Amino acid sequence: MNFKYLFFLLIVFCINVSSFEEGFAKNQSINIAYRDYGPINATPILLITGLGAQLTLWPDFLIKDLQENNFRPIAFDNRDVGLSTRFSSQPSQVLNYLKYFMFIPINSEYTIEDMASDGIAVLDHLNIDSAHILGMSMGGMISQVLVAQNPERAKSFTMISSTASTPNPFNGPKFKVTQQLLKRSAAKDDIEGRIDQSIRLFELIGTPGKNYDTPEFRKNMRAYIARGGDDGGFLRQMAAIIGSQNRKELLKSIITPTLIIHGDIDPLIKVKNAYSAEKLIRSSELEIIEGMGHLLDKESYEKFRFRFIDFLD
C-alpha cells in the first residue's frame, strides 16, 4: 500500500469540524473575526456569508466535505456581525422601507467594497497568496468585488444565491419576504422572540415544507445569539446592499473561473439574476438547482456537491 495515501486517509477520517483555530484580522481600525478549519497544508477556500449571518451559519456538512476533499475552509464574520467590529448608527426601519419602495438612495455607514477589503485582510493575516472564493447571498455580492478587483488572489469563484443587481421592488424579494427582512421587532433580550423571527424567515426563504421549528434549531439559535449578541448590524448591512450601485459592469471584468449556483424557486433573489450573471461573466458556468430556495441545506447541497467539488478541483 502507498503509505502517503494511507497517511492522507488517516488525516481525512480524523477531521473534526469542532476543531479549528480562531483569531482576528485587522483592516485599518476594523477587527474581523475568522475561523480557520484547516488543515493548514490543504488548499484554502474563503467562505463569505450573507446578510446578518455569523460565520457559524456555514453548515458542518459543507465544512467537512471541503476538508475531506483536501480543502482548507476559512470563514469570517463580516463587519458589524458576530465577533467582528460593530458599528453604532441605527437606521430607521420605516424610513429605509419607504426609500426602498420609492427608489431613493439609502445612505450606509460602509459599502460592499469595504466588506470585500475585509476578506482580503483575512487572507493577508493568514499569509495566503490566493484562495478559492465562495460567497453566498450578500457574500456573493462581496465576493464579486473581491474577485474583480483582486484577480490574483482568487483561484476560483463560486457564487450561490446572489445577484449583481441592486435590489428594488421590481427585481427584489417577494413582498412578504421584504416585510420579514425589515421586521426586527424582537427586543435584544427577547431570545425566544428572536428565534421565532428567524424561524418565520427561514420558512419563507428556505426549502418549502421543511420544518425549521425544531428543538435542535432552537438550541443552535440560542448558541448563535449568545455568540453574536444583538441584530443591530442587520439593518446596517442591508443599507450597504440597497445603497450600492449595481455591479453589472464589474462582473464583465471578472476573468476568474466562476461557478454560479442558484435555486430555481429562490424567493429572496430570483433565479433570473443567475442567468444574468452567467451572461456577464465570460468565464462562468451555471448550475440551477431544482427545488432549492435561498438557504443552503443538506438536501440542496447533495444536488450540486459533485459539480462543486469537481469545479474546485
pLDDT at residue 238 greater than cutoff 50: yes
pLDDT digits (tens, 9 = 90+) for 135-184: 999 999 999 999 999 999 999 999 999 999 876 655 566 655 665 565 55
How far is residue 268's CA from residue 292's CA, in Å, rounded to a whole number? 12
Predicted local confidence at residue 136, as pLDDT? 98
Q: Do you know the residue count of the chain?
A: 313
Predicted local confidence at residue 173, as pLDDT? 62
Predicted local confidence at residue 5, as pLDDT? 37
pLDDT at residue 85 greater than cutoff 70: yes
pLDDT at residue 302 greater than cutoff 70: yes
pLDDT digits (tens, 9 = 90+) for 25-34: 999 999 999 9
For the segment 76-88, the average pLDDT, to the nearest whole number, is: 95
Predicted local confidence at residue 255, as pLDDT? 96
Overall number of domains in the chain: 1
Inter-residue contact 236 to 91 (CB < 8 Å): yes
Alpha-carbon distances of 45 from 1, 111, 124, rounded to whole Å: 30, 23, 14
Sign of CA dihedral 64, 69, 72, 74: negative
How far is residue 184's CA from residue 118's CA, in Å, rounded to a whole number? 26
Assign 3-state DSSP to the chain and report helix, strand, coil percentages, each to 5.
45, 15, 40
pLDDT at residue 260 greater than cutoff 90: yes
Question: Which DSSP helix (H) or strand (E) runs through 101?
Answer: helix 93-101
pLDDT digits (tens, 9 = 90+) for 184-211: 544 567 888 888 888 888 888 888 888 9
Predicted local confidence at residue 258, as pLDDT? 98
Question: Residue 127's domain spans which residues?
Answer: 3-312
Predicted local confidence at residue 3, as pLDDT? 38
Q: What's the mean pLDDT when you consider all of the chain?
A: 87
CATH number at 18 reads: 3.40.50.1820
Backbone dihedral region for residue 246 (phi beyond 0: left; psi -120 to 50: alpha; all else: beta): beta
Predicted local confidence at residue 179, as pLDDT? 59
pLDDT at residue 10 greater than cutoff 70: no
How far is residue 174's CA from residue 118's CA, in Å, rounded to a whole number? 30
